[in-house]
Structure 1
Amino acid sequence: MTDTTVSVLAFDWAQKWHNFWHGTVGQWILTSGLQILLLLLGAALAARFIGWGSRKVTRRLEQGFQAGDALVRSEASKHRQAVASVISWVAIVMLSVIVAVQITNVLDIPIGSLVAPAAVLGAAIGFGAQKVVQDLLAGFFIITERQYGFGDLVELNMIGAPDGSVGTVEEVTLRVTKLRTSDGEVFTVPNGNIVRSLNMSKDWARAVVDIPIPVTADLNRVNEVLQEVGNSSMEDRLLKDLLLDQPSLMGVESIGIDNVNLRMVARTLPGKQYEAGRRLRALVVRALGQAGVVTASGNGPMVDTLPSTASEGKRGAGGD
């Protein structure tokens, strides 16, 4: 009796299993369901392959930069890295659209019946996605015009922000630009919000050094000292790889009560103007100290600091 009952139950489960896979639901799973599953798996694998390819290209560019002798990235390298990021993003979006269309074909959903709902949905999304479209268009022109790229030092002025954001570009996509500040913070800026971009590391940069000199100092002697600093800077071990040409003395920039400001400028590699400026200031301070030129201090009467010959000449003219 027990064996007969077990046999009947086993036959019932086998029959149900057979009927399920030969029924409507089972046939749909074996045909359309399996196709949809394969499409989703293929899309996931393709997306991972695209991401892997993009990361490999980026890693190769990074290794080429670190292994080379250049102190800064070339403009072509920055542009290639930005383009690789954008191409991978666009490829994934196109893959998603293609898979979605294929799934609708497998499900036998008539495209014509979706026109009206799609138009209404597109209009609703269009009103809410105007900002996204603006970001994508702005990002497209930023990349195609090579306004800046990965590794550039930039200042971005945005709509509604009183101050610009300064930092090093870590990522450029069609929608956003990511900046890392000197404090290690990361700004994520939508490209559509950018109204002005200042690239401080494109092709070359300029280090500007203002040098305050006492009004009582001999400017001719100071100019000679600064010229010597400019001539020797090309042989300095810290400056020779940063400078593109010899620093130039521009002359008197401004005149104050106690000081006369002289300006020295130097063309440097892109993004290295601050490092070169700091080293150049150190050389200038050391050279002026050795020459006996010290910045004036205090707010005492300037007559007391004039040379004795000039003071005596003035008193003689007043006595006459």
Structure 2
Amino acid sequence: MNAQTTQKDTTEKVDEAVTGVTNWWNNPDTHEMFIERPLKILLILVVALILSWLARGIIRRATRHGIERTPLLSTAAEDTPQYRAQEARRQQRMKTLGNVGRSVAAIVIWTWAALAVLDQLGVNVAPLIASAGVVGVAIGFGAQSLVKDFFSGMFILIENQFGVGDTIQVGDVVGDVEEMSLRITTIRDIDGALWHVRNGDIDLVGNHSARFSTARLQIPVSLMANPDKVSRVIEDAATAACQDPEVRDLVMGTPQMLGPSEFNPTYVSFRLAVQTMPGEQWTVARHMNHRILAALHQENVVLTPMDSVLVQNMENNG
């Protein structure tokens, strides 16, 4: 009798346990907790991965298309140094924009994925979003300069004001742009110093590498020199200098003699100008100054007041 009772109690307990497990498994909350939510979270992560992959692919394809797309020019035009310099600058700008686009897309996609996962875990994301808005406003007021830097950097890239490799002037700093980000522009000046300039502080910038530059020369000679002879010697020497292998590929036009531009009690200054490759005006000017000075000495052009005295003495003694 006791054995039968014990067996019956055991059977009832097993039945109760099975019934409890069955009821727990059939409970909609259990299905939602262990099946629906994990599947939804997995689906969210898969969708985020797919969107991130698609965004990177689209941006990469658009960047590559932008780099490979070239204006319809003749073969001769494409072989010029001017075209190659501008093309390299354009390609660098497209790569920078592509990197920024991929970063922005990743931030947006994974922020959405994180909020969606938290929502599936039962976390009320509405207060988080509201708090993020409040924190964003607080950060906006507390870090206005940082926000200004980012927006300024974005517009510098979009408007193509300058790019990596360009020679620019920001305030008193003149140098080559070595690196650009949305917040900082890094400039290497002529003395080798590396300047880190916040984009929000760039109110006025001069780009010496946009399309072309101009080499302007001021050649001082004595007031006793023949102006017609001086103009001819300077122009001929400058034209010959532009054909030298050292600077031939850096010059975009023929030198223009602008004539006397400044009178002084002891000398008169002749001005000469020539278009050069972007940022190469100083190299061309130094080479032309060397050739012009040698030509003036060769033609016995009077350069200083002391030369004038010597010439007069020679004429008087002659």
Q: 2:139 aligns with which of 125, 130, 148?
A: 125
**Is the deviation greater in 166-175 or in 94-103?**
94-103
Structure 2 counterparts to residues 187-266 of structure 1, below 5 A: 187-266=195-274
TM-score, normalization: structure 1? 0.69
Q: Is the 1:156–1:196 Cα contact (8 Å) retained in structure 2?
A: yes
| Map of 2:14 onto structure 1 | none
| Code of the aligned partner of 1:292 | N
| Code of the aligned partner of 1:180 | R
Cα 1:139–1:251, aligned 2, differ >3 Å: closer, same or farther? same
Q: Is the 1:82–1:150 Cα contact (8 Å) retained in structure 2?
A: no
| Map of 2:149 onto structure 1 | 135
**Is the deviation greater in 219-228 or in 194-203?**
219-228
Is 1:112–2:126 an aligned residue pair? yes
Cα 1:309–1:186, aligned 2, differ >3 Å: closer, same or farther? closer
Q: 1:179 aligns with which of 178, 181, 187?
A: 187
- Offset at 1:243? 0.9
Structure 2 counterparts to residues 9-24 of structure 1, below 5 A: none
Quote the Cα distance in structure 1 between the aligned partners of 2:158 and 2:272: 36
Question: Residues 209-228 of structure 1, C-alpha deviation per residue, up to 9 Å, x if partnerless?
Answer: 11111222222211111121
Q: Is the 2:238–2:292 Cα contact (8 Å) retained in structure 1?
A: no
More helix by share: 2
| Code of the aligned partner of 2:164 | F
Q: Is the 2:242–2:288 Cα contact (8 Å) retained in structure 1?
A: no
- Offset at 1:111? 1.9
**Is the deviation greater in 234-243 or in 106-115?**
106-115
Quote the Cα distance in structure 1 between the aligned partners of 2:244 and 2:298: 18
Q: Is the 1:81–1:150 Cα contact (8 Å) retained in structure 2?
A: no
Percent identity, aligned pairs only, is 27
- Offset at 1:296? 1.3
For these two proteins, the number of residue pairs brought into alignment is 273
Question: Residues 246-290 of structure 1, C-alpha deviation per residue, up to 9 Å, x if partnerless?
Answer: 111111121222221111111001111111111111110111111
Structure 2 counterparts to residues 1-320 of structure 1, below 5 A: 70=81, 72-74=85-87, 75-157=89-171, 164-296=172-304, 304=309, 307=312
Q: Is the 1:203–1:269 Cα contact (8 Å) retained in structure 2?
A: yes
Quote the Cα distance in structure 2 between the aligned partners of 1:183 and 1:83: 30
Question: Residues 112-170 of structure 1, C-alpha deviation per residue, up to 9 Å, x if partnerless?
Answer: 2334433432332221132222122212221222111121110113xxxxxx2222122
Quote the Cα distance in structure 2 between the aligned partners of 1:297 and 1:308: 12
- Offset at 1:179? 1.6
Give unpaired runs (5+ residues) of structure 2: 1-32, 68-78
Quote the Cα distance in structure 1 between the aligned partners of 2:146 and 2:270: 49
TM-score, normalization: structure 2? 0.69
Quote the Cα distance in structure 2 between the aligned partners of 1:254 and 1:232: 25
The runs of 4+ residues in structure 1 deviating greater than 6 Å are: 308-311
**Is the deviation greater in 90-99 or in 242-251?**
90-99
Quote the Cα distance in structure 1 between the aligned partners of 2:132 and 2:101: 27
Task: Name the SS of the counterpart of 2:235 in structure 1.
Answer: helix
Task: Name the SS of the counterpart of 2:204 in structure 1.
Answer: strand
Task: Name the SS of the counterpart of 2:303 in structure 1.
Answer: coil
Cα 1:134–1:188, aligned 2, differ >3 Å: closer, same or farther? same
Aligned residues: CA RMSD:
4.1
Quote the Cα distance in structure 1 between the aligned partners of 2:98 and 2:133: 33
Give unpaired runs (5+ residues) of structure 1: 1-26, 62-67, 158-163, 312-320
| Map of 2:28 onto structure 1 | none
